[in-house]
Structure 1
Amino acid sequence: MVRYLGFLFVLLLTPAAQAADECADALDTTVRKLHSQQTLDLCALTRNKLTLVVNTASQCGYTPQFKDLEALYQTYREQGLIVLGFPSDDFRQELDSESDTAEVCYVNYGVTFPMAATSAVKGDSANPVFQALGAATQAPGWNFNKYLISPDGNDIRHFPASAEPRGGELEAAIRDALAQ
């Protein structure tokens, strides 16, 4: 609502309008895109969307989960889901070259969801997203930990590496959150 008060226009936002202009605190940052100089504005990408954040690695036993993460993204993105991948070598299973990591993600597994540049996801050197997620839930103990963040950012659920992207508790939580 806009009110005119003398020479001053005052914009009054309802709580719903205020919430629509905000993003989850954990995602209020920009990161460099994998194997690119472009940046990803995570706030803009995730505003009003259910967000699944995953720490990834290209040489891990869980690396085939990329296929099902992409399937989740394709199945639910029109309903409001976004998946964000964060490659990391914190567990010594990421390739040394971002171009090699990009090939695994984009060519081998057909990933189309946004992937950030390789960064730390645990400890004092963790990127800002994983610092916030670790403080809200727990830091990843291995590759392919999954964090489901509600559109308003008030609810963050952690799923371990062993949680399969499709057909289990994670997909059920996604369906439930999107139905609300």
Structure 2
Amino acid sequence: MRKIIFLLSIFMLFFKTSATANYEKKFYDFSIESINGEKIDFKDYKNRVILVVNTASYCGFTKQYGELQELWDLYKEKGLIVLGVPSNSFNQEKNNNAAVKEFCEVNFNINFPLTVITEVKGKNSHDLFKWAKQNHGKSAEPKWNFHKILINKDGKVEDTFASFTKPLSKKLIKAIENIL
């Protein structure tokens, strides 16, 4: 029995993230530029649940835009904000904001908030993504496009979801409903 407990302890340490989760700042302390060139002040999202998704127009997961719009339509009146963050961090985004905006509107009828094209990974990433990684660990750093970061009403990272997790999956919907 001791051997099993020891092995489990070693196993758990192997998967432990280096996040400090001290939350000196919260989600609401940040802002970002919208795709229309206006400031999105996250203070305006206080007491709301936010799903931050880094997006790209030329990705195999791009069809998730449709489900993100459906998710927004289903839950916006209950307090959910879907925030699309177009990014070329994985070299799959159009080269200007106007082209991204047109692509989203024409192909998916997107009306949830979108930001300007933003770095989401590495030393040049937006402070929001650095903050998420610092406080939630490596799982908060996008590994690919359509990575999802769920922010709770307290302005902290609740959970993260890989690109393969569809916006209307039972797993993601359950996580959202549990904190709305």
When normalised by structure 1's length, the TM-score is 0.81
Q: Partners of 2:157 and 2:56 in 1: how far apart?
A: 26
Report the structure, 1 or 2, having the larger helix content.
2
- Which structure 2 residue ranges, 5 or more long, are not aligned? 1-24
Residue 155 of structure 1: CA displacement? 4.3
Q: Partners of 2:28 and 2:128 in 1: how far apart?
A: 6
Question: Residue 32 of structure 2 aligns with which residue?
Answer: 31
Question: Residue 150 of structure 1 aligns with which residue?
Answer: 152
Are positions 1:126 and 2:128 aligned together?
Answer: no
Q: 1:162 aligns with which of 161, 164, 168?
A: 164
Change (3 A) 1:155 1:129: closer
Identical pairs, percent: 35
Q: Partners of 1:61 and 1:136 in 2: how far apart?
A: 29
Are positions 1:89 and 2:88 aligned together?
Answer: yes
Q: Partners of 2:126 and 2:40 in 1: how far apart?
A: 14
User: For the Cα contact (< 8 Å) 1:27–1:129, is it kept in 2?
Assistant: no
Q: Which has the higher contact order (CA 8 A, sep 6+)?
A: 2
How big is the alpha-carbon RMSD for the aligned residues of Structure 1 and Structure 2? Answer: 1.3
User: For the Cα contact (< 8 Å) 1:55–1:121, is it kept in 2?
Assistant: yes
Residue 27 of structure 1: CA displacement? 3.7
Residue 136 of structure 1: CA displacement? 2.4
Q: Partners of 1:121 and 1:155 in 2: how far apart?
A: 16
Change (3 A) 1:99 1:150: same
- Equivalent residues in 2 for 1:1-180, closer than 5 Å: 25-34=26-35, 36-44=36-44, 46-137=45-136, 138=138, 139-178=141-180
Q: Partners of 2:165 and 2:109 in 1: how far apart?
A: 21
